[in-house]
Amino acid sequence: MSLVNVMKDPAVREDPYPTYARLRDMGPVIPNDFGGWLLTRHADVAAVLRDNRFSSNSRHQDNFEQFVQLADAVGLTDLLDLFGRVMLFADPPDHTRLRRIAGKAFTVRAVQEMRPRIACIVDGMLDAVDDDGGTELVEALAFPLPVTVISDMLGVPTEDHEQLRAWTREAVKALDPVDDPMVLFPAAQAMREMRQYFHELVDVRRAAPGADLLSALIAAEDDGDRLSHDELLDTAILLFGAGHETTVNLISGGALNLLRHPDELDRLRQDPSLITTAVEELLRFGPPVQLTARIATVDADVAGQLITKGTEVVAMIASANRDPSVFTDPDRMDIGRTENPHIAFGGGIHHCLGAMLARIEGQEALGRLVNRHPGLALRAPEVEWKSTSTLRGPKSLDLVW
C-alpha cells in the first residue's frame, strides 16, 4: 500500500472516506510501501498517539542517517533541523518545557476571554459582504479570521498577514508524505523566510515589548529557564502556522459539509444552541488534519503486529473518526451527536495546544454565518480541494444567499 500514490488520486482527494473504509477492512495495521505501517482504526490510532514509546521526532527513524545525508546533499539540512527542534516534533523533556511556556497563553480562561473579540471580528467580516449576495468564504472569513486572531496574539502587523499566509501555504506541504524530496524545496524556502521575518520581529519586541504573545514568550521563564533564540523563532513559526491553517479548513470544510447536509443545516438554524456539538461533529466527520506520523522508539506491539524500533507508523486520524466500532452510523453527519470521542486534535503530549481556540473560532464563524443567511447555498456543486493530503480543506468555497 503506497500512501503517497493513494493520496494523489484525484478521486481520493475529492472523497477519501470510501478509501479509508477499505483500509479499515484490510486490518488495523497495514504495511506501507516505505517500510512503515498504516493504522486505520480508532483504538490503535488513539493508543499510539498517547503512547510515549512512539515519537513524532524523525531522529528516531532507523534510516534517519540516510535522510541527513540526502538533506545535506540537496540543501535541506535546515528544514530537517527545524523538524527536530520545533515543539510539534520534540520529545520530553524539551517538549515539556516548551509546551509549558507556550501553554500559558492558551489556558481555558485566557481563550474563553477571547470569545467576544472573535465574535466581533466575525461580525465585521460578514458585515463587509452581507450586501454582495454571496461570497468566497475562504477569502472572506475562513482565512482572515484565524489569521487575524493569531496575529493579534503574536503582535504581527496587519500589513504582513498576506505574506505570512503565502509562506505558510508552502511550508505546510512539508507535512505531507512524499516520495520525491525535491518537492520540499519551496517549503524549505518558505520556512527560511518566515524565520527571518520573526527574527526581525523578535528584535523589535525585545527593544519595545508589547502586550502580545511574542513579547510574553521573550520574557517567559520556566524554573529560571528562558526560551533560546532558536526556540523562540521555532515556537513563533509553529504558533502562527498551526494557529490558522487547520482552523481555515475547519471553517470552510465545516460550511461545505453543512451545505451538503441540508437537513442538518436546517436543524442548526432552528436550534443555534447545537453549535457546540455541531462543531465537534464537523471535526469528526471531516477533520482538518487527516493523518499524522509517529516512530517507534522501542519494539512495540500494536493490534498484534510487532512494530520494530525505528519504524514509522502513520496514524490515519480521519479513518479512525469513521470507525463503526466507536461511532454509531459513522458516515452519517449528526450535529447533535453527544458521544463523540473524535481525535481530530490528536492525543497524548502533542494534543493540539490551540484546540479550544479553534473550537471557539469555528463556533462563532459557522454559527453566525448560518444564522445570518437563511438562503445560504453553494454557487456550484463542484469544489476544488487543496493539494495537501495531511491537511484537508476546500481551496475555495463560493456561496450565495
Arithmetic mean of pLDDT, 103-109: 85
Q: How confident is the model at residue 221 (pLDDT cuts 50, 70, 90)?
A: low
Max alpha carbon distance in the chain (Å)?
Answer: 61
CA dihedral (137, 143, 145, 146) positive or negative? positive
Task: With beta carbons less than 8 A apart as the criterion, state whether 159 and 274 touch.
Answer: no
Give pLDDT tens digits for 284-316.
999 999 999 999 999 999 999 999 999 999 999
The per-residue pLDDT of the chain, averaged, comes to 90
The residues pairing with 221 across neighbouring beta strands, listed in sequence order, are: 226
Q: For residue 131, what is its C-alpha cell?
A: 450586501
What per-residue confidence (pLDDT) applies to 1?
Answer: 57
Which of 234-248, 283-297, 383-397 reaches the highest mean pLDDT?
283-297
Confidence check: pLDDT of 223 > 70: no
- C-alpha 68/C-alpha 78 separation (Å) is 10
Arithmetic mean of pLDDT, 68-78: 72
User: CATH code for 3-400?
Assistant: 1.10.630.10
Confidence check: pLDDT of 198 > 90: yes
79-83, 160-164, 229-233, 366-370, range with the lowest pLDDT:
79-83
What per-residue confidence (pLDDT) applies to 179?
Answer: 59
Report if pTM > 0.75.
yes
Task: Return the higher-pLDDT residue of 128 and 70.
Answer: 128
Helices 245-259 and 262-270, packing angle to 10 deg: 100
* Among 311, 382, 359, residue whose Cα is nearest residue 39: 311
What per-residue confidence (pLDDT) applies to 102?
Answer: 86
* Among 370, 216, 149, 350, residue whose Cα is nearest residue 279: 370
- C-alpha 97/C-alpha 50 separation (Å) is 18
Q: For residue 332, what is its C-alpha cell?
A: 452519517
Return the domain boundaries, the chain. Answer: 3-400
What per-residue confidence (pLDDT) applies to 261?
Answer: 98
What per-residue confidence (pLDDT) applies to 104?
Answer: 81
Arithmetic mean of pLDDT, 238-253: 88
